[in-house]
Amino acid sequence: PLEPGQVISLRGRPVRLEAVPGAGAARLVEEGTVIRSGGEGEAYARRVENLLKREARDTLLERTDHHLRTLGQAPVKVTIADTRSRWGSCSPHNRTIRYSWRVVMAPPPVIDYLAAHEVAHLVHADHSPAYWSVVERLVGDHRPWRKWLRDYGGALHAVGR
């Protein structure tokens, strides 16, 4: 669970969770090494999760826009969700990409790979060799980042549950 004293990862770096008196929203402090939040129990956890979702949205929007520009693609609608298994999904027909907020706990190259993976589906809506060549154009060798998600993704899905 997300509770004071726990150490979680944010963009691959350890961040300590701290409680403060009152009902204040969670905020990132001390150069991004601490998340401080008010509230107790479920309210505390909800505030921390909301902060993580905002951080995920900001990071994923930036990386998505970067890859869209690289490929000369028009903007897409991006949503952040709490999926149980998938890290992202792309619907090319309505130009929407959906990401799991939990990927914000992964190292930056993994986050970047995920954004590239989903943006590449706008060019090829499959996992063909042509699709993977688009991913490679965007991030180089994607295999270490896919492996990272396979190896450590379960731990990210467990945070806050």
Number of domains in the chain: 1
- Helical ranges in the chain per DSSP H: 41-71, 108-120, 129-139, 143-158
* Consecutive H or E run containing 28: strand 27-29
Q: Output the pLDDT for position 34.
A: 97
144 falls within a domain? yes
* Consecutive H or E run containing 9: strand 7-10
Tell me 125's DSSP state: S
Q: Output the pLDDT for position 83.
A: 86
Would you tell me the crossing angle of helices 143-158 and 108-120 to the nearest 10 degrees?
110
Cα torsion 96, 88, 114, 151 to 10°: value is 180
Q: Does the structure show a pLDDT above 90 at 161?
A: no
1 falls within a domain? no
Which residues does 65 contact at the CB level (< 8 Å), separation at least 6?
75
CB 122 within 8 A of CB 73: yes
**Which domain, by its residues, includes 65?**
7-158
The 10s digit of each residue's pLDDT in 49-81 is 999 999 999 999 999 999 999 999 999 999 999
Q: What is the CATH number of the domain that holds 28?
A: 3.30.2010.10
The 10s digit of each residue's pLDDT in 91-143 is 999 999 999 999 999 999 999 999 999 999 999 999 999 999 999 999 999 99
38 falls within a domain? yes
150 falls within a domain? yes
Name the region of 75 (left: φ>0; alpha: ψ -120 to 50; beta: rest).
beta
Tell me 25's DSSP state: P
30 falls within a domain? yes
Which residues does 135 contact at the CB level (< 8 Å), separation at least 6?
113, 116, 117, 120, 142
**Arithmetic mean of pLDDT, 39-49:** 95
